[in-house]
Structure 1
Amino acid sequence: MHLTTASDALPTRIGTEILNLLLPHHRTTDPAPVPAPAEAFPHQLRRIADFVHEGAPVVLTLPAFPCKSPNPAKVLGHLPDQGERLSLTFLNTLCTEIERIYPPGARVIICSDGHVFGDLIHVPDHHIDAYADDLRIQIAQLGLDRLSVFDLRDILGDLPHDTKRAHVHDRHAPTLDALRAEARTDDQTLALYRGITRFLVEDTADWTGTRSALQRACRQRAYGVIQRSRAWGDLIAEHHPHAVRLSIHPQPVGAPKFGIRLLDAPDAWTTPWHSAALHRADGTWTLVPRATAARLGRLVQRDGRPSHFEHN
């Protein structure tokens, strides 16, 4: 179905309606009391309108769902659980909502990036494989047919993980000096660097040295994580050049990436892979550290493994 009009008015109008479905879930760094209108997101509007003009499904890429945190005080284990299931269902539902106003619909490609920086976040590669494989199983079992998973195996096959990481880093990562210079002048880069440093500190469960030594080590590793994340972003853009780029990190209004909140959480940086799902007494869900959830509720098993907590 190719939409032809005398101008771009129809694709832009439908694109605006589609973007309006995403806006309530925008995860932003901006403290504005009034949500920004669709017109404030020209990058996303233009890309969505291009899909609409072609009568094609809107493709969104989301680098996310890498692996579980290695800290057992934060998560229930190394496999996806209710937090992931709720987040995946949310993304698929978003696609079906788009389909109601635009019949070709939308699909989300989850670009699972655990192997890209697994060595830096100290998660074993076999745990990352198990997480990504189970993610695909969950998507199939839940019938989430608007979602797919894309990872390094789709690009570099069965090469050793260290070889894949070196390939990605050497060909696509910015230099450390350039990244440090950027963090000194760009507030968004500095916020990302600090956020990742904090996660790396929190995810370290077995450190025997001093707190200051841990902070130093995590600051260095944080730059490496950002380098690899940038490299992964370039690879995603190469393989999905026309897609609308989503991000699980907060993004400013009008940025090329659209920050999206997967589930309610007290912190804008919290994700299902750094936390456990807590089912509140009022029926809503939130994400909190496993240790916090355990104080507030009882553990629920699903298919023989830990799933989430039910509020007492």
Structure 2
Amino acid sequence: MRPPGTVGATSTKGDAVSDPAAPDIELAAVEVLREVLAHQRRPRDGGCAGRVCLRCVRHHLDTVRSAMESGRRIDFVLPAFPTKSPNPAKVLGPLPDLAEELALRFLDGLCERIAAIHPPGAAILLCSDGRVFNDLLGVSDEDVTGYVRGIDRMIKRIGATHLEQFTLDDVYSGAGHVDMRAMLSSGYAPTVEELREEVRAGGAPLAMYRGITRFMLEDLSGPGYTGTRSALQRHCRKLAYGVIQRSKAWGDLLGQLFPAAVRLSIHPQPCATDKIGILLADTPDVWLTPWHSVAVETGGRYTLMKRAEAEAAGAALAYRAGRPSHYVLEPAAAGTAPAPAPAPAHREPWNRACA
């Protein structure tokens, strides 16, 4: 046994040199992951336990610790902010609004809190996947471009210095949009039959398939659809495989391009897997996102709701800079609206980010 005061020294018996800072880095890395996992988006029966899942902490600890040991910032990759839903019963229009702004402020604030633990800081690369599958949603490439540019302007306007966008256009610069999607699919996408086998096995792939099918059905059942609901359901079940196929391709490409980043997802993720599901908002539906909904303010707090639900509850439309921004629901009327989920345990709740 070494005498006191010799920690880190090399003994004459060939003991390895120990780093006195290693325990501090380990504890700091755990604290960083606790900040992230406080907002974890979990599936039902996904295997996670406790307010902060220790199994997920252990699974991602090496990636975070590696960045901290090298003295570099901690990078996160989040495929998100694709394009607004084409269904006017869910959203205010094709451009980002307060729902996105609140989510961006939350993500930037999360990086600020990580910087208080790890001074080199953190950054989140928002890997917009709108161009990846917008044709399956019936959304034009022009609308995707407008949405991406709107997010860029919003990031600059609110001073979200820890956020940056990355799109399919950055990967295949100069190619046409149809060709971009074809190159992505041919290089990285699994076959539909492989996906069908995963879905048949149940668990997380089945939950993902059902969730995306439901969203496709909602997105495509707008006022422009004139067919039967059963026909649309069959169509959406088929389209869901295409969305999952391209999403997996995009995810695999990002993993190749950013191997040292911590991978986040807007979808619920099973315990101790490669991605951490993250909540971008307080909402009673864990699948609801800012681009499928509107922000609703009640008594200084915000939640997400579908536009039709907000209007049915008596919420009033609010404007910013002459454009529709969000809804305001008087507290007396809020009892008729769906109850928002409890705020995740963190120091800067999303629903007060703009209060």
Bucket of the pairwise TM-score, normalised by the shorter protein: over 0.9
Residue 306 of structure 2 corresponds to: 289
Structure 2 residue identity aligned to 1:183: V
Matched, 1:125 2:136: no
Q: How far has the Cα of 1:5 moved from its partner?
A: 2.4
Q: How far has the Cα of 1:288 moved from its partner?
A: 0.4
What CA distance in whole angstroms lies between the structure 2 residues aligned with 1:157 and 1:276?
32
Relative to structure 1, the CA distance from residue 96 to residue 229 in structure 2 (aligned partners, 3 Å threshold; closer, same or farther) is same
Give deviations 1:194-253, integer Å, cap 9, x for gaps: 000000000011221111110010000000000000000011112111100000001122
Q: How far has the Cα of 1:178 moved from its partner?
A: 0.6
Q: How does 1:86-105 map to 2 (within 5 A)?
A: 86-105=102-121
What CA distance in whole angstroms lies between the structure 2 residues aligned with 1:143 and 1:38?
33
From 15, 27, 31, the equivalent of 1:17 is 31
What CA distance in whole angstroms lies between the structure 1 residues aligned with 2:27 and 2:139?
45
| Bigger Cα displacement from structure 2, 109-118 vs 247-256 | 247-256
TM-score by length of 1: 0.95
Residue 90 of structure 2 corresponds to: 74
Q: How far has the Cα of 1:38 moved from its partner?
A: 3.6
Q: How far has the Cα of 1:106 moved from its partner?
A: 0.5
Q: How far has the Cα of 1:7 moved from its partner?
A: 7.7
Residue 269 of structure 1 corresponds to: 287
From 226, 234, 258, the equivalent of 2:252 is 234
Q: How far has the Cα of 1:42 moved from its partner?
A: 2.8
What CA distance in whole angstroms lies between the structure 2 residues aligned with 1:210 and 1:77?
25
What CA distance in whole angstroms lies between the structure 2 residues aligned with 1:272 and 1:171?
30
What CA distance in whole angstroms lies between the structure 2 residues aligned with 1:75 and 1:159?
30
What CA distance in whole angstroms lies between the structure 1 residues aligned with 2:321 and 2:173?
31
Give deviations 1:239-283, integer Å, cap 9, x for gaps: 1111000000011221211000011011000000000000012x1
Structure 2 residue identity aligned to 1:265: T
From 156, 173, 176, the equivalent of 1:140 is 156
Does the residue aligned with 1:35 lie in a helix, a strand or coil?
coil
Identity %: 45
Q: How far has the Cα of 1:30 moved from its partner?
A: 4.0
Residue 68 of structure 2 corresponds to: 52
What CA distance in whole angstroms lies between the structure 2 residues aligned with 1:191 and 1:60?
25
Q: Which consecutive aligned stretches of 4+ in structure 1 deviate over 6 angstroms post-superposition?
A: none
In the alignment of these two chains, the number of paired residues is: 308
Task: Report if aligned partners of 2:30, 2:57 keep a CA contact under 8 Å in 1.
Answer: no
Residue 215 of structure 1 corresponds to: 233
Structure 1 residue identity aligned to 2:135: D
- RMSD value, Cα: 1.5
* Structure 2 unmatched runs, 5+: 1-17, 331-355
Task: Report if aligned partners of 1:30, 1:253 keep a CA contact under 8 Å in 2.
Answer: no
Does the residue aligned with 2:96 lie in a helix, a strand or coil?
coil
Residue 188 of structure 2 corresponds to: 172
Residue 65 of structure 1 corresponds to: 81
Structure 2 residue identity aligned to 1:211: R
Task: Report if aligned partners of 1:39, 1:45 keep a CA contact under 8 Å in 2.
Answer: no
Residue 172 of structure 2 corresponds to: 156
* Structure 1 unmatched runs, 5+: none
TM-score by length of 2: 0.84
Does the residue aligned with 2:103 lie in a helix, a strand or coil?
helix
Does the residue aligned with 1:110 lie in a helix, a strand or coil?
strand
Does the residue aligned with 1:241 lie in a helix, a strand or coil?
coil
Does the residue aligned with 2:137 lie in a helix, a strand or coil?
coil
Give deviations 1:134-187, integer Å, cap 9, x for gaps: 100100011000000000111111311100000001110000111101111141
